[in-house]
Amino acid sequence: MGILAGKVVAITGAGRGVGREIALLCANEGAAVVVNDLGTSGEGEGSDLSPAQETVQDIVNTGGKAIANGASVSDPAGAASIIEDAIKVFGRIDAVVNNAGILRDRIWHKMSHEDWNAVVDVHLNGCFNVSKAATPYFRDQGSGSFIHFTSTSGLIGNIGQANYSAAKLGIVGLSQSIALDMARAGVRSNCIAPFAWSRMTASIPASTPAEQERVERLKTMSADKIAPLVAFLASDAASEVTNQIFGVRKNEIVLFSKPRPIRSMTKVEGWTPQSIADELLPSFKPSFARADERSGDVFPYDPI
């Protein structure tokens, strides 16, 4: 009897990497799992059901319960089929893990509309589509947990990832609104920013010594380290946890703050552009965030 005994969990992007590790652990903790994976390349091209089927087979081989779903989360009907499969086969849905993603990293001035739309469709719209499909069931049963994957690329920033960063920070806004809107129905919504070496993070450029050091640090952080927090958030043990942003960095779990006012200055007669330059700027400047800051600056120490 694990922490998820009797639960049904749907996990998107669960054929490989972080999603696969989440599926394996949730099944080991007693959940029946819908393993969704379209099976695309890292940039979202093609499709292949075999990664999802392999994850399902590995779960079944150890006595667990799982089914494969090969739908695209960016298609509302496909996203709905993930939840429909859970209801049809297992009779209920208790948690949704929005993990599916692709990358089309481009420096800003070279990013196309296609690159932008493809990434936003999978990450942000996909998160909306699957969550929307599960909401009526969560609302009717008076319980449910949404676990959305964000990224420090959105929370902190990164180079060459305007599409991914915008989508991932958008997911935070979506999660917060879901948590507020669904609280009276007993439904929770939280975000996780994972640090882990996977097919997606393998695309991070490593052309400078600093970037190479960052990649080597990432390689020490395995995907299985993310799964325990997901399983906890999907369980009844997390019944009081909602509207939060977590990070997992190997054996370290981080609770992120949200944007809140840090400085304020009032001019009773009103501001002019020149008075802002002369008075407000010198006051605020010591509290400005670093303009070139990335996650490696926020987490400069080796993973624990």
CA dist 82 and 93 (Å) reads 10
Percent pLDDT > 70 in the chain is 95
The answer to whether the beta carbons of residues 155 and 165 sit under 8 Å apart is no
Give the strand pairing for 95-98 and 144-149: parallel
Give the domains, in start order, of the chain with CATH numbers: 8-255 (3.40.50.720)
Q: Extract the runs of DSSP E, i.e. beta strands, from 118-243.
A: 144-149, 187-195
Instruction: List pLDDT tens digits, range 78-134.
Output: 999 999 999 999 999 999 999 999 999 999 999 999 999 999 999 999 999 999 999
AA letter at 200: M
d(CA 57, CA 252): 31
Catalytic residues: 164
192 token code pair: 């996780």
pTM to 2 decimals?
0.93
What integer pLDDT is reported at residue 199 of this predicted model? 64
Q: How does residue 187 score in pLDDT terms, banded at 50, 70 and 90?
A: very high
| Residues in Cβ contact with 162 at an 8 Å cutoff, skipping those fewer than 6 apart | 106, 108, 111, 116
pLDDT of residue 41: 86
- Beta-strand ranges (E) seen in 13-134 are 32-36, 65-69, 95-98
- Is the confidence at residue 216, as pLDDT, over 90? no
Residue 198 pLDDT greater than 70, yes or no: no
